[in-house]
Amino acid sequence: MAKITEKFSNLLKLYKTTKIKYPHLKPISVAQWILESGRGKSELAQRYNNFSGIKYRTELRDYARRVRVKVKDGSHYYAHFFDLESFIAGYWANLARKPYQGWQKAAKTPADFIRFIGPIWADDPEYVQKVLTLLPEAEQRLGLFSAKPKSVTNLNLPNEALQERLLALFNEEPFIRRLRQTMFGHAFGDLLADEALAAILSQNKSSPAVACCDGDEDVEAEPRPGPRSSRPVKPASRYIPSPNWSSRNGVRIDHIVIHYTVSTTLESVIAQFQKRTGKRRSAHYIIGRDGRLVQMVRDTRKAWHANGKNSRSIGIEHVAMPGQQIAKAQEKTSIALLRWLMAEYHIPKANIIPHRCVPRNTRCCGDLFAKYKTGGDPYSCRVQRDALQAWLSDHGIE
C-alpha cells in the first residue's frame, strides 16, 4: 500500500476505537478521507486537522475554528479542527446539515452511503467511483483484511451442491467484502473470511445466540476483555457542552480529581462553565445535590479544572457549599460514575485525588467527606486525601 502520514495513522488508530452510530460506514468514510487528503499529505490535513476538505459552517463551531486557505479554485474559509477527535465528530456533524438530509436512510451499505453524499460533497462526476476504488485499502488500514483470508474447507451441509456453491463464495474475497458491508457483516465482524465462519454456520440449534451491538455512548475507549455485563455501566447523564476545553495531545487519562462547587445549584455551575469571557474554567462532570449528572466536556478532551493535572485527569464537580457534606443521591451517582471511569480508563483508587492535592490548589473538596476526616488541618492535602480514600473504601472501591 501507499505510504500515509504519521498524523493520518494516528487518526486511523483513534477512529478504530471511536464509537459512531453507523460503524459499518467507517471504511467508506476512511476511503473518502484517503482521497480528500492524499493519505494525510494535504495542507488542510497537516495544518488544520481537516482530512476531508470540509468548509467552515457555524454548525461546526464546537469542533473547529474558521481559517482562510488558498486552494486551486481560489481562497475559501475551511474548518480548522481543534484536534483529531474534533475532526471525527465534525465530519459526522457536517452531515447533519440540510444538503445531506436523508442520508441515514441510504446508509444500509457503504456504497449506498457514498452514492448519496458524494454528488453533494464534490462536483467531480467520478468522485463516487474514486472513493469506492479506495474502499479495499480503507478496509485493510482499519484491520478488516489484515491478512489473506483463510480458506473454508467444510461447512458440514447435507446438500453437496449447496455446500460446493457456498464454499466457492466464502473463498472469494470480493464476496466477503460485500458481505461485510451488510448488517450481517457488521454483526459478525472479523469472524467473516475466517474458518470460524464455518463453525458458526454448522452450529446446531442448541448453540448460544450471538449477541450484537453495544450502548450508544459517543466515544468509547479501547474495548476491555471479558463479558460486557461484568463491567460497570456509565450512569445516565445530560450533555451540555462547555466551550472551555483543549486537546489532551495524546496524554493518557490516569487520574480523577474531585471538586466541590461552592455554589447552591447545578444550573449556576453550568452557566459558569459556559462563560466565554473573564475567568474561564470547566470540568468534565457536575453532580447535583439530587444526583443529576451533567457532562460538559468529553472525556477525550482536556477540561480546565486542575492546573498541572488537566491533561491526564477527569474532573468531577459536586454541587455543595462550604460546610455541606455530600448528599445521598449525589453520593450514589458519584460512586457509580467513579466505578465506570476506573474500569474504562484503568485508573487505580490511589489516583482519585481531591483538588487540594493539585499544585495551585484551593481548599477543595471542602467538607464533602467531613465524616471521614481525622486529626490535623481539616483542609490539608493529607487529611482531604485520606478522607476521600476512606469514603471510597466505605463504598466498596478498592
Distance CA 395, CA 307 (A): 29
CATH number, domain containing residue 246: 3.40.80.10
Whether residue 221 is contained in a domain is answered as no
Is residue 27 included in any domain, yes or no? Answer: yes
Spatial CA neighbour of 341 closest among 279, 255, 227, 266: 255
Higher pLDDT, 26 or 165: 26
| Same domain assignment for residues 255 and 382 | yes
Q: Does residue 247 sit in the same domain as residue 376?
A: yes
Cell numbers at 57, concatenated: 459552517
Kindly report the pTM of this predicted structure: 0.49
Judging by beta carbons within 10 Å of its beta carbon (0-12, 13-18, 19+), is residue 259 exposed, middle or buried? buried
Per this entry, what is the length of the chain? 398
pLDDT value for 45? 95
Sign of CA dihedral 350, 356, 357, 360: positive
CB atoms within 10 A of CB 221: 17
Contacts of 162 (CB under 8 A, 6+ apart): none
Question: What is the average pLDDT score of the chain?
Answer: 82
24-28, 44-48, 115-119, 247-251: least confident range: 247-251
Q: State whether 247 and 390 are in the same domain.
A: yes
Res 96 pLDDT > 70: yes
* Domain final position from 141, 176, 202: 141
The 8-class DSSP code of residue 350 comes to: G
% of the chain residues with pLDDT over 70? 78
User: Given 141, 170, 190, which residue is the final one in a domain?
Assistant: 141
Q: Is the pLDDT of residue 12 over 90?
A: yes
Domain limits for position 279: 242-394
3-state secondary structure of 99: helix
Which amino acid is it at 20?
I
Cell of residue 84, nine digits: 483529531
pLDDT given for residue 178 in this prediction:
55
Is 202 part of any domain? no
Note whether 17 and 126 are same-domain residues. yes
Which pLDDT score, from 0 to 100, does residue 208 have?
32
292's grid cell = 443529576
Residue 60 and residue 43 in contact, taking contact as beta carbons nearer than 8 Å: no
**pLDDT tens-digit series, residues 284-334:** 999 999 999 999 999 989 999 998 899 999 999 999 999 999 999 999 999
Most confident of 75-79, 175-179, 191-195, 224-228: 75-79
Structural domain total, the chain: 2
Strand 255-260 versus strand 352-354 pairing type:
parallel
**268 and 387 in a common domain:** yes
Phi/psi at 26 (5° precision): -55, -50
- Max mean pLDDT among 233-237, 238-242, 333-337 falls in 333-337
Is residue 180 scored above 90 in pLDDT? no
- The reply to whether 387 and 248 lie within a common domain is yes
Residue 63: give its domain's CATH number: 1.10.530.10
Angle of helix 26-37 versus helix 6-16 axis, rounded to 10: 170
The pLDDT confidence band at residue 158, using thresholds 50, 70 and 90, is low
The reply to whether 19 and 128 lie within a common domain is yes
**Of 196 and 367, which is predicted with more confidence?**
367
Helix, strand, coil percent values for the chain (each to nearest 5): 45, 10, 45
Let me know if residue 22 belongs to a domain.
Answer: yes
The domain boundary, picked from 141, 175, 204, lies at: 141
Higher pLDDT, 158 or 20: 20
Please determine, for residue 51, whether its predicted confidence score (pLDDT) is greater than 50: yes
Is residue 236 in a domain? no
Whole-number Å distance between alpha carbons of 53 and 37: 7
Question: What residues contact residue 8 under an 8 Å CB cut-off, 6+ apart?
Answer: 33, 37, 39, 40, 45, 51
Residue 384 and residue 264 share a domain:
yes
- List Cα–Cα distances, 254 to 104, 300, 309, 315, in angstroms: 37, 12, 10, 12
Asked if residue 161 has pLDDT above 80, the reply is: no
| pLDDT at site 154 | 54
For residue 325, is it within any domain? yes
Provide the pLDDT for residue 74: 76
Question: Which residues, at least 6 apart from 302, have a Cβ–Cβ distance to it below 8 Å?
Answer: 245, 246, 247, 248, 251, 310, 311
Better-scored residue on pLDDT, 24 or 150: 24
169 belongs to a structural domain: no
Confidence of residue 185 (pLDDT cuts 50, 70, 90): very low
pLDDT band at 148 (very low <50, low <70, confident <90, very high): very low
Among 97-101, 114-118, 213-217, 291-295, the minimum mean pLDDT is found in 213-217
Q: Which three cell numbers stand for residue 4?
A: 500515509
**37 located within any domain:** yes
pLDDT band (50, 70, 90) for residue 360: confident
Residue 172: predicted pLDDT = 53
E strand intervals along the chain: 64-71, 74-81, 238-239, 245-247, 255-260, 285-287, 293-295, 301-303, 313-318, 352-354
